[in-house]
Structure 1
Amino acid sequence: MNDAESSRLALLHFLERVQERDLVRTRRWIADEERREAERRVGEERHPPTPEWLIERGLDRKNTVAVHTGECWDPGKRVRPATRAQAIEALRQQVPACSKCRPDTALGIVD
C-alpha cells in the first residue's frame, strides 16, 4: 500500500468521525426542538380561553371605565372577564364602550 492510498483512507476515516459528530449534534438539536414544541403545546392547552367580553375598572376598582370585546387589542391593564349579560348591563348603565373594539356594535346596542 502506498502513502497516497494510506492518506486517502485516513482522510475518509477522519471524514467519518466528523460526520458522526455532526449527526450526534443534529440529533441533539432535533430532540431540543421536539421538547420545545411539546412545551409550547402544553402551554397552549393550559392557557385559559379568551373571554368574550371584558370590563375595565378604574384605579380604585370601584368605578367601571370601559367595556371591551375579548379580542380587543387595547383593553387596558385592569380588566376582568365578563359575561354577555354583564357587558350589556354595563353599557346600559352608561359605561363607555371601547372606541377601538366597539363592543356596543358587537352586542347590537348602538344608539
Structure 2
Amino acid sequence: MSDEPTSPELEKLRFLYRVQLSQVAQTERWIDAELHKLRERASRLPRLEGPEFLLSYLRAGGQPKADSVHLGDCRMVSHHTKPLDRDQARQAITSGGIRACEICRPDSELGVLE
C-alpha cells in the first residue's frame, strides 16, 4: 500500500484529470484530421500566383499617394497596394515619376535604369 494520503475528493479530481486528458487527446485527433483534410484539399487546388509587380501607396494628408514600385513578393511593400503588370510597372518608374524599391529592385527586373 501507498503512504500517500487520499480522500474521496482527491480520487474524484484524479478521475476528472484522466477524463480531461482523454478529451484533450480526442480534440487533438480531430484537429489532426481536419488539418489533413485541409492540406489534401489545398494540394488539389492550383497554386494562385500573386501579381508580378505592386504599386505601394502611402497616406499623405488623408489621401493615398503612389510611393514606389515593388516586385510582387517584396516584404518592404506597404499595406496599401495595387497590382501592376510589367508594362504598367515600367511606365510608373520611367514616366510616372514613381521610384523603384531600393530593396527588391524592380527596375533591374524590368531592365530600366533610373
Per the normalisation by structure 1, the TM-score is: 0.63
**Structure 1: how far apart are the matches of 2:66 and 2:100?**
11
Superposition RMSD in Å: 3.2
Query: 1:46-70: CA deviations, max 9, x gaps?
Result: 9853111000123222x32100000
1:91 is aligned to 93
Q: Which runs of 5+ in 2 are unaligned?
A: 1-17
Write the letter of the residue equivalent to 2:89: A
The structure 1 segments of at least 4 consecutive aligned residues displaced by more than 6 Å after TM superposition are none
Q: Which has the higher helix share?
A: 1
Query: 1:69-110: CA deviations, max 9, x gaps?
Result: 001011012111111111011011221000110000011112
Q: Which has the higher strand share?
A: 2
Largest Rg, 1 or 2: 1
Q: Percent identity?
A: 23
1:10 is aligned to none
In structure 2, the residue corresponding to 1:58 is in which secondary structure?
Answer: strand
Label 1:110 to 1:36 Cα distance change in 2 as closer, same or farther (>3 A): same
Please state if 1:55 is matched with 2:58. no
2:4 is aligned to none
1:39 is aligned to 38
Residue 39 of structure 1, CA deviation = 3.0
**Structure 2: how far apart are the matches of 1:47 and 1:39?**
14
**Structure 1: how far apart are the matches of 2:48 and 2:89?**
20
**Structure 1: how far apart are the matches of 2:25 and 2:58?**
53
Q: Which runs of 5+ in 1 are unaligned?
A: 1-17
